[in-house]
Amino acid sequence: MTDTELNTELKNKLRKSGTATVGIVCKDAIVLAADKRASLGETYFIADSRAMKLFKLTDNIAVTFAGLVSDMQLLIKIVRAELKLKSVRTKGSPTVKEAANLFGSIVYQNIRKFSPIPGITHFIMGGRDHEGLHLYEICVDGTIDEYKSFLTSGAYGSIMGYGILENEWKEGMTVEEGKKLALKVLATAVKRDASVGEPFNMVIIDEKGVGEIAEIKGSEISKK
């Protein structure tokens, strides 16, 4: 087997998230949501219809991801451990910016390691600290940006999501309006992107911190 054939076989066996994820800034909260479909390699074979793409990092910070599942799992384990260690050393909670910078540094190093399989990952981070609510994007190359409105990530679904968000997001949205908008973005992505699928996960981050991660099924979306 040649190196090219081996690389092709490996890529087809890699679990990718496909993905449509979204983060929305509301008046008093951040809404994060993600679909739950994972596919194998470039085949779009559905490897898992219950994949988690939305994770709680600390009591005040949560993150969504798109990209290679193996890299995502490792990065989240490392960041969780580092944030926990920092809180123990400083006897205080890490700020959202500190968490985003940590993520960005690790992603930067990960993508630049020599490997036949690039570690492609993209994260949306939402959180609350003493300065208020924050929404960050950690790009595949480790770039970090903060947004005051909305973000979406993934494959083709994110492209359609931006069209909806540009038209319907407004400053000072209520949490309920933000939840409905996030679900609309994901429901639209499902219709046009085969790598995106129901059910969805959603979490609200407000003055109390990160809430429970809820699962929302298709039958429930039509009622919202």
pLDDT per residue over 66-75, tens digit each?
888 888 888 8
When divided into structural domains, the chain yields a total of: 1
Domain residues for 90? 17-39+46-221
pLDDT at 77: 93
Weakly modelled stretches of the chain, pLDDT under 70: 1-18, 40-45, 47, 113-119, 155-157, 218-224
Residue 161 within a domain: yes
Residue 7 lies in a domain: no
Average pLDDT, the chain: 84
* 17, 72 Cβ separation under 8 angstroms: yes
Q: What is the CATH number of the domain that holds 183?
A: 3.60.20.10
Burial 86-119 (b: 16+ CB within 10 A, else e): beeeeeebbbbbbbbbbbbebbbebbeeeeeeeb
Tell me: cis bond preceding 94? Omega within 30 of 0 counts. no
- pLDDT for the residue numbered 210: 97
- pLDDT score at 127: 97
pLDDT of residue 224: 54
Between vectors from CA 150 to CA 188 and to CA 167, what angle results, nearest 5°?
55
- How many angstroms separate the CA atoms of 149 and 171, rounded? 7
Model pLDDT, residue 20: 87
- Active site positions, annotated: 19
Domain-embedded: residue 119: yes
Cβ contact 154:124 at 8 Å? no
In this prediction, residue 223 carries a pLDDT of: 54
DSSP state letter for 25: E
Say if 11 falls within a structural domain.
no
DSSP state of 95: P
In a domain, 5, yes or no: no
